[in-house]
Amino acid sequence: MKPLQVGLLGFGIVGRGTWEVLRRNAEEITRRAGRPIRIAAIATRSPERARDALAGANSVRLTADASAVVRDSDIDIVCELIGGIEPARSLILEALALGKHVVTANKALLAQHGTEIFAAAHARGVMVAFEAAVAGGVPIIKALREGLTANRIEWIAGIINGTSNFILSRMRETGASFETVLAEAQVLGFAESDPTYDVEGIDAAHKLAIMSAIAFGVPMRFDKAYAEGITRLTKEDLRYAEELGYRIKLLAITRRARNGIELRVHPTLIPAKRLIANVEGAMNAVLVKGDAVGSTLYYGAGAGAEPTASAVIADLVDVTRMHTADPEHRVPHLAFQPDQLTDLPFLPMGDVETSYYLRMRVDDRPGVLADITRILADREISIDAMIQKEPSEGEDQTDIILLTHKSVERSVDDAISRIEALPTVRGKVVRIRLEDLG
């Protein structure tokens, strides 16, 4: 049977991984897809250098013109691995307009322009596959779109940025500062020279917006996501969390609440007994709660050449299998039929209800704790656990650490501002959210 012809846009780490895995496992992939899948053309900024990586595969056309690959009439599937917004968005829309299927690993593009892209694909009756856009080699998109389709998804909580998880793991293991471990992560290749998207939670928010849309049948709304990173976390807070039986992770959470949908990324205390709290290093994990199946956990490598290539090629196989199928009988891009998406509101952080870790530096004298607990009680914030540290020798200040029961965030914000105004409280109150995930 004639191979399905793929045009590869981008030949970086993931592009080369895709080429290598597709070449190495060609026979197995063909048996699963029902016909061969062949990379026929590659667009890359350095065609001459790419030729060396192709191991003598001279039949592959190399070019610096990505649009020429998209327009090539022999190409059946366009595989976009360039990243970023432009020119990736324009190239994908051009491919869809020409009636070509698209495979992409571009989470930022889908989070910000997914609604436009999926509408264009639906209008032309072609597919956009994007398993590699979230959690690398972990097949979480397929699980949400297909495996859990009988369920009403209640919430998703994920460790979906390997860089931040590596940093937090090393800070906990070594007691080193954020700055020290970030420098180590950059040397080891776990962090970019500019790590902003990773350590500020933006990368995780892109991925979460995609999962939320699939889970709840809503449009992509990255603009509604709250993102808070790990740059202000200290080794002291990681140590205190351990004493209380928790681990701190950068957690991405989307939840179906009473008044709408939560969409948030931030450092979070998780009970150490939870499996997801024990995900270490650069690994990813996603916990999904469905009404019928209960909690299911998906774990694996969230980045890297071959783990991500695994997801890219899985999409290529899916597109190959469904290439000639009636568009109305394919799995919808966002799991729900396009005309069945709902415009549920997304909750602002002030309306979110969760538990909290509060750490404050206070004068070591009578009445301080009573003043703090009175402020909390006035706002109906109840205390679940408390540690009051002994002051160091010769010091007249100490740390108080409180864990609260579930409270509305705006009430906690108000309480923090009142506590910080007390003459016996020194500096700012550290606030970290807490999720039981039970």
Asked whether the bond before 87 is cis by omega within 30 degrees of 0, the reply is: yes
* Sheet with 101-104: strands ordered across: 61-63, 37-43, 4-9, 77-80, 101-104, 128-129
Long-range CB pairs of 15-18, under 8 A, 24+ apart, other chains included: 15/42, 15/44, 15/81, 16/53, 16/305, 17/304, 17/305, 17/306, 17/308, 17/309, 18/79, 18/81, 18/309, 18/312, 18/313
Rounded to whole angstroms, how far apart are CA atoms 312 and 93? 19
Contact 404, 355 (CB under 8 A): yes
Contact 304, 162 (CB under 8 A): no
Rounded to whole angstroms, how far apart are CA atoms 196 and 203? 9
Residues 6+ apart with CB under 8 A from 252: 156, 157, 158, 159, 160, 161, 201, 204, 205, 207, 208, 211, 264, 265
For residue 194, which of 209, 177, 182 has the smallest C-alpha distance?
182
Set 207, 224, 249, 289: catalytic member? 207
Catalytic residue at 100? no
Alpha helices by DSSP H, listed for 58-106, are 66-71, 88-97
The residues that are catalytic are 207
